C-alpha cells in the first residue's frame, strides 16, 4: 500500500506512472505545467460481467485514507447488489433534477409575486382616457430624449427593467411618492456587497424627475411625485478607483500564465488591456469586424450608441492573431459552447473573481485555484480599462474614456 511519504516524493518525471495501492485501487500520476503533482485514484471492478471503473478521489485534495474509504464503500455497495458507478450517476441525475425543480418553483413564486404586485398597482391605475406613465414616457422620448447621444436608448432600457413593470400602466397623475419609492426599493433588492445599486437608484430617480418635470412644463400634471424623494437618503455612491501600477501589471502578466484561466480568457484580458475596450465589447466581438491586415477592430453599437474603430497596436494585433487560430472558423471571437452566439459577458469577470478568494473554500464546478490572480486589492476586468486610462493620462494623452480607445496605438508608440 502507498504511503503519504511516497506520494509527497513524486516528481514531474513520474508523470504517467500508475501506482497500485492494493484492493484493485490504482493511482495515476499527473504533473501540471507549474510542477504541481497530483494522483487520480480509480477503483476497478466487475459488475454484471463488465469491467467498471470508479473515481475515488485525487490526492492531495483528498487524503489517501479518505480515498480508500470511498473504495471500501464501493465494495460494500457491490456486495449489496448495486453498481457504484450507476449509483453515483443516479445520485447526480437526482440532484440535477432537484435543482431544476427548485429553480422552476422559485421562478414561479417570483412571477406570482410580481403578478400580485402589478395587480395591486393596477387597482389604482388611471382610466383609459388618462395618460399612463408609459404613454408619458413615449412623448418625452419623442420630444426630448431623442436628442441625447444614444437617442434615449439607455433610459428606455432602464425604464423597461425597473419602472414600466410597476408603473407603466398607471395614470401618470396617480403616481405618488410611495410608488416612486417602490421602484427604488425594487432596485435595492438586487444589491449585493460588491454592487450596492445606489448609483442605479439615483440615475432612475433622476430620469423619473426629468420626465415629470417635462409633464409639469406642459401642464400634463399638477405635481411631481419625486419632489420629496431625496437622493441623499439612498446612500453614498461607491466609485471604484482601482487601477494597476506598473509593478502590478508585470505581476498580472506573470500570474495569468499559471492562473488556470483558459487561453481564450487570458487573451480576452490582454485584448481589453491593449485596446481599453469594455470586457463585454471584447467578448461580444465578431471576426467580421476585425481586420488583421489593416489592423483595425470595429465596435458597432457601443454603449453611447455610436460605432467606433480601434486601431490595433502591435501587441493587440498579436493577441487577436493568436485568438484567430483558436476561434477564427466561427463568426464570434469568443463563441459560446453551442456556437450560437458569443459567451456571456460576465464569463471572464466571474473567472477572475473565482481566483481572488484566498479565505474561501473552492466552489463545486469552479476553479480550485482561489488565489492565483490575487494582486493587491481585489480587481475586476473593468479596472484594466481604468488602468489604461490612468497610465495614458500620465503619458500626456488627454481624451475622454471612449476616445482613449481610439488613441491606444498612439500611446503605445509614445511609450
Query: For 141-181, what is each residue's pLDDT tens digit?
Result: 999 998 887 788 889 999 999 999 999 999 999 999 999 99
As a whole number of angstroms, the distance between CA 134 and CA 156 comes to 10
Alpha helices, H only, 31-176: 64-79, 84-123, 133-143, 153-162, 164-167
- CA 371 distance to own-chain centroid: 18
Which residue would you say has higher pLDDT here, 305 or 15?
15
As a whole number of angstroms, the distance between CA 254 and CA 77 comes to 47
Q: At 390, is the pLDDT very low, low, confident or very high (cuts 50, 70, 90)?
A: confident
Which run of H or of E encompasses 352?
helix 347-354
Rounded (5°) CA angle 70-72-78:
105
Q: What is the mean pLDDT of the chain?
A: 86
As a whole number of angstroms, the distance between CA 77 and CA 85 comes to 10
Which of these, 77, 45, 42, lies nearest to 59 by C-alpha position? 42
Q: Does the predicted model carry a pTM greater than 0.95?
A: no
Residue 25 bridge partners (DSSP): 43
The cell for 335 is 463563441
Per-residue pLDDT tens over the stretch 232-278: 888 775 556 788 989 999 999 999 999 999 999 999 999 999 999 99
What is the set of domains in the chain, with CATH numbers?
Answer: 4-82 (3.30.160.390), 124-234 (1.10.150.130), 246-414 (1.10.443.10)
Amino acid at each position: 500500500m502507498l504511503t503519504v511519504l511516497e506520494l509527497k516524493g513524486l516528481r514531474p518525471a513520474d508523470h504517467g506512472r500508475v501506482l497500485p495501492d492494493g484492493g484493485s485501487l490504482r493511482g495515476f500520476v499527473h504533473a501540471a505545467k507549474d510542477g504541481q503533482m497530483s494522483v487520480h485514484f480509480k477503483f476497478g471492478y466487475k459488475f454484471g460481467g463488465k469491467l467498471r471503473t470508479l473515481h475515488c478521489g485525487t490526492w492531495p485534495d483528498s487524503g489517501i485514507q479518505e480515498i480508500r474509504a470511498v473504495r471500501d464503500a464501493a465494495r460494500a455497495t457491490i456486495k449489496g447488489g448495486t453498481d457504484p458507478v450507476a449509483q453515483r450517476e443516479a445520485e447526480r441525475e437526482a440532484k440535477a433534477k432537484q435543482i431544476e425543480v427548485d429553480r422552476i418553483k422559485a421562478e414561479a413564486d417570483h412571477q406570482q409575486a410580481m403578478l400580485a404586485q402589478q395587480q395591486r398597482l393596477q387597482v389604482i391605475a388611471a382610466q383609459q382616457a388618462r395618460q399612463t406613465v408609459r404613454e408619458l414616457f413615449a412623448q418625452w422620448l419623442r420630444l426630448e430624449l431623442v436628442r441625447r447621444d444614444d437617442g434615449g436608448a439607455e433610459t428606455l432600457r432602464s425604464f423597461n427593467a425597473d419602472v414600466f413593470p410597476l408603473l407603466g400602466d398607471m395614470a401618470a397623475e396617480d403616481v405618488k411618492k410611495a410608488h416612486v419609492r417602490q421602484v427604488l426599493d425594487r432596485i435595492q433588492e438586487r444589491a449585493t456587497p460588491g454592487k450596492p445599486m445606489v448609483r442605479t437608484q439615483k440615475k432612475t430617480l433622476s430620469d423619473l424627475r426629468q420626465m415629470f418635470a417635462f409633464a409639469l412644463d406642459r401642464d400634463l400634471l399638477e405635481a411631481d411625485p419625486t419632489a420629496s424623494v431625496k437622493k441623499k437618503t439612498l446612500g453614498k455612491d461607491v466609485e471604484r478607483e482601482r487601477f494597476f501600477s506598473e509593478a502590478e501589471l508585470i505581476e498580472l502578466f506573470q500570474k495569468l500564465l499559471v492562473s488556470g484561466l483558459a487561453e481564450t480568457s487570458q487573451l480576452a484580458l490582454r485584448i481589453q488591456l491593449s485596446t481599453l475596450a469594455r470586457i463585454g465589447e471584447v467578448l461580444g466581438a465578431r471576426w467580421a469586424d476585425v481586420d488583421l491586415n489593416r489592423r483595425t477592430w470595429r465596435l458597432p453599437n457601443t454603449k453611447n450608441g455610436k460605432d467606433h474603430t480601434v486601431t490595433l497596436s502591435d501587441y493587440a494585433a498579436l493577441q487577436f492573431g493568436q485568438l484567430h487560430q483558436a476561434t477564427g472558423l466561427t463568426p464570434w471571437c469568443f463563441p459560446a459552447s453551442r456556437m450560437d452566439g458569443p459567451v456571456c459577458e460576465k464569463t471572464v469577470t466571474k473567472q477572475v473573481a473565482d481566483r481572488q478568494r484566498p479565505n474561501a473554500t473552492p466552489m463545486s464546478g469552479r476553479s480550485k485555484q482561489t488565489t492565483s490572480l490575487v494582486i493587491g486589492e481585489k480587481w475586476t476586468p473593468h479596472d484594466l480599462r481604468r488602468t489604461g486610462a490612468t497610465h495614458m493620462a500620465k503619458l500626456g494623452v488627454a481624451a475622454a474614456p471612449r476616445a482613449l480607445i481610439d488613441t491606444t496605438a498612439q500611446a503605445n508608440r509614445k511609450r
